[in-house]
Structures are given as C-alpha cells and as structure tokens.
Structure 1
Amino acid sequence: MRISRIFLYDEPAVPQINLENLVTFLKRTFRVSVIRKESIFAHADRETARQLAAARVFNYRTPFEMHTPTDEEIKIEMQSFSNSASNDGIVLYDGFEFQKIIAGLVPEKESTIDNLHVVFTNKLTCTFDYNDYRYHGRALICANPSIISTTGIVEAPAKPKDYYIDMMKNYTQGLNVDSVKEKYHGQYLDYADERLETIVEGYCMQAIFYHITGEPFCDLLNCRLHNAHWQRDLLYSQIEFGKICSKHEDILRRWTALNDLNC
C-alpha cells in the first residue's frame, strides 16, 4: 500500500510522546511526508462527546452493547476535549466503536487511501476477545485512522507476576502499596515515563506496517513489531533490542524503494 503522507495527532496530556522527534524518526525510517496535527478532539462537538460516552464499556465480560449516556457523562467527555489531563480514573472504550468515531473527525480532504492517520489518545481502548470472553485493554487499534492509546501502553502489557502477588499481599495486610511500586520500579512502563518517547516509535511502526502489508506484528521478540503481552517484552523489543528484524527490514527496504517511485 502506497503512503503519501502520515498525519500524527497529538495527545497534549502526554508530552512524553514528543511528537516533534517522532516526526523526524518516521520521516527518516519510511521516507514519507509526516505532518504533525493537534489533538483529534480539538474541534470536537457535543455529538462527538455523546458518541464517545456511548462507546464506554461497563461490563468487560460481555460483547459491546451500545450505552445510552447520561448528561453528566457527555459533559465529562466535552471537558476532556479541552483538558484531557483532567480525566479521573480509567474508563474503557470499545476500540472499534472508538475508531469509527475518530474516523468521522478526520477532514474529508485528507481522508484518502494514500494518507495514513495515527491518533494518540490517553483514553483506554479495548477489544472483546471471544477466546476468553472478556475485554482486553489495547495499546494499538490498527486501521486508518490507527489509534495508539498511551494508557493502553501502560496498562495492557502485564507487569511482572511477582508484582501482582506482592500487591495482593500488601492489600490484604493493609500495607502501603508504594513500596511494591518502588521494588519493581523500572521493570514496567509507568505514566509520565520518559521511555514512552521511544516506545511510541514502535507502535507507530506497527500501525504503518499494518497499512503497508496488512500484518502489523512480528512473532520474534527481537523486533520492534513484536506484539508484547508483557512489559518486560515491550521494554526489551522497543528499547534494549530497538530495531526491526531482518525480515521486516527487507520488507521496509523494498517498500520504500517502490513508494519512492510512486510518489
């Protein structure tokens, strides 16, 4: 699939994304025009707020059911458009419903097949898995536009098993959980984590490879396209290893050569 331009939509509540550096990285890697945009919700209206509130997930054990939002829920969504950092607690949104809403906000003149849109949000997207019949948080919803959830990056890949065991022990004993977080500090990605700047590069690459080939992920841990289910694997693939595998390097090399000819 040919790409003329990539549009990156900012999440102002998460400055660690560092969109300016991300633009430079993607231009260098894919040799296409990359355009920085403000938040996709910058000019959203009450109808968009209603749609988002209706896409909330309340029962993670059942497939998506459209929710009839209250005025208060719509008001909260409206407030998040101008101040997304004000979100209290974690709200789950059905990822496919969320993506459809986002698609409706992309300017029509830029919504062409050769333009790829990647939207950052701190809202938590999730999808229903019929294998275990429950919703799971997702860092990435692949489509056009693609959605990268910074909350999903933090919450979806699991932390070390012992972390959860120690947290449960402290809860049951009435102890402060901060000591557990300190014990495992650095072993998982946290909010406002400076490593997020590097991590989002990999998720952008996955979104772009999906657009190019239809396959966003790699089975190899030694590849930035690896679909990490554990924080340790995420940090290894994206930071410690920090590159794509030889197979995907070859795919990228051949694609950039063809894309250059078509541009």
Structure 2
Amino acid sequence: MPETVTIYRAPTTVADADALADWLRDRIDAEVRVRDRLLGRVDDGVAEEFAAARVTDPHDPETGNTMTGIVRYEERALSNPSRAGGIVYDGRDVQRSLNAHVPGEQSLDHLHIALLDRALGTWGDHDGRWHKRVAVLGQPTLVSVPGLYEAPAKPEAYYEAKSKHALLTGDAPPREVLEAEIEGDFLVADDPRTTDALKGYLLAAVDFLDTGSAFCDDERCRLHDAHRQPGVVRAQLRDPTFCEAHAARYD
C-alpha cells in the first residue's frame, strides 16, 4: 500500500478531485492529497512528446505527428486546456512522458493519479486496432475523464438508432439527439454521475500498486474494468460496492 496518494485535478471537466480524495481516505491507510492540474506543471518538451503520442490511424500501431504546427497546437493545449479535444493519445507513451514530470516523488511509496481531459488509448494486438481507455494504471496512473464517456461501448439500441438514422438521412445523427432518444444505462459528457463513476478506477490504481493485479473479474465490483456502458453503471453506481474479496480490503 502506498504511503501517499496525490490526485491531480482536471479543471476543464466535472470530475471533483476533492470528493474523490475524501472517498479514498475512507478506504485506504494512506495520506491522500489533491493538487492542481499535472499538465500545468510540465515543461515545453512535453508538447512534442504529446504530438509523438497521437494516434493517427485506428488500425496502425505507429503513432505521432511532430510537424511544427502539431507541436504548436499541443503547446497551446497544455497552456490552455479548453482548446484540447478530439484527439486520442497512446496512453503508455503519455504515461512515460509524465512520469519524468511527477514532482520529485517517484517512489512506489507515493502514487500519483492524474485526472486528464484527454482521450487515451492502448493498442490491441489481438484485433489490430486502438482501444480507448478510462484508466492506464501505473506510475503515474492516468484517468481519462472523456474516456469514461467514450471508451466503454454504449447499449446496442444506441448503435441501432444511429444506423437507422444514417440509412434514412445519409448523415450521422448528432450525439445529443441519440443520447436523448435512447433509454438505457450509459454516461454522457459532463454527466453529473462522473465523480461517482470514477471512484473505482482510482481505487484500482491503489490496488494495482499494492497487489500487482489489474482490475477485478467480478462485474459487480467497483474495481471491475467494464467494456460496455451498462457494465460501468452496474460496477460503479449500483450495489454491492465491492465483491467479497475487495469488500474485506476496502469497504
């Protein structure tokens, strides 16, 4: 178990870092701190590293575009995060980049968890494509707030309605229209349940550092990494909070 956990805010999102810290304090024997945005602490060289980590083709494992204009965009996005969006980054490359910028406390006794306003992905060797992720565990752990809405697949009815609309009109329907029309358990951008839904991902980061196990196989447990939106709602927002094994550790 780490002695200290530091959570970094993502001020352009609705995720409440202070509320997440309070929830963690009730469940782990560690000092939990909150700091301002980690991306606000990095130097100019990180802009080029982010440019190099860009996913440019969903079916190509090679990443990066370090042309001057792209690097300049990343510099602006780092200094003004409201400009960022619509880009997926290699989560492992971003993690390696930010590891060097964790402020002076890089031992495994001090876990750093960065809430990010960026979409992150990992390459899937099994199917030859990139997959968006909510969390990339490790040091630091990266938790993508937009990934919470975008990475897990939505209910089947969502995609059926999208295909039907496209067939009838020739255009993709606005996301907001689909979200309003489709009933089901799924999270949308700036969802008021965002903070509650992220709690298990932060605890999973602590558990991974402590035990070496990444996530839980029990679909009812907050430490489960669901791949579909209804599964996220079930694991993070429904009872029971934990499976028996993790309830004994954390509840």
Q: For 2:38, what is the secondary structure of its paired residue?
A: coil
What is residue 256 of structure 1 aligned with on the other side? none
Q: Matches of 2:229 and 2:27 in 1, distance apart?
A: 25
What is residue 104 of structure 1 aligned with on the other side? 100
Contact 2:137 2:208 in 1 (8 A): yes
Deviations 1:235-256 (A, max 9, x none): 0111112511111122448xxx
Cα offset for 1:83? 2.3
- Correspondence for 1:233 among 220, 231, 234: 231
- Correspondence for 1:49 among 36, 47, 50: 47
Deviations 1:128-161 (A, max 9, x none): 1111111100111010111101111111100011
Q: For 2:5, what is the secondary structure of its paired residue?
A: strand
The TM-score normalised by the length of structure 1 is 0.89
What are the equivalent positions in structure 2 for 1:1-263 lying under 5 Å apart? Answer: 2-14=1-13, 16-65=14-63, 67-88=64-85, 90-108=86-104, 110-174=105-169, 176-177=173-174, 178-184=176-182, 187-241=185-239, 243-252=241-250
Q: Matches of 1:185 and 1:10 in 2, distance apart?
A: 31
Cα offset for 1:95? 1.1
Q: Would you say how many aligned residue pairs link Structure 1 and Structure 2?
A: 248
Contact 2:3 2:31 in 1 (8 A): yes
Greater shift, 77-86 or 54-63, is seen at 77-86
The TM-score normalised by the length of structure 2 is 0.93
Contact 1:139 1:156 in 2 (8 A): yes
Q: What is the alpha-carbon root mean square deviation over aligned residues?
A: 1.7
Q: Matches of 1:181 and 1:252 in 2, distance apart?
A: 34
Contact 1:99 1:147 in 2 (8 A): yes
Structure 2, unaligned stretches of length 5 or more?
Answer: none
What is residue 259 of structure 1 aligned with on the other side? none
Structure 1, unaligned stretches of length 5 or more?
Answer: 254-263
Q: For 1:181, what is the secondary structure of its paired residue?
A: helix
Sequence identity of aligned pairs in percent? Answer: 26
Q: For 2:197, what is the secondary structure of its paired residue?
A: helix
Contact 1:3 1:116 in 2 (8 A): yes
Cα offset for 1:185? 5.5
Q: Matches of 1:43 and 1:234 in 2, distance apart?
A: 31
Contact 2:108 2:209 in 1 (8 A): no
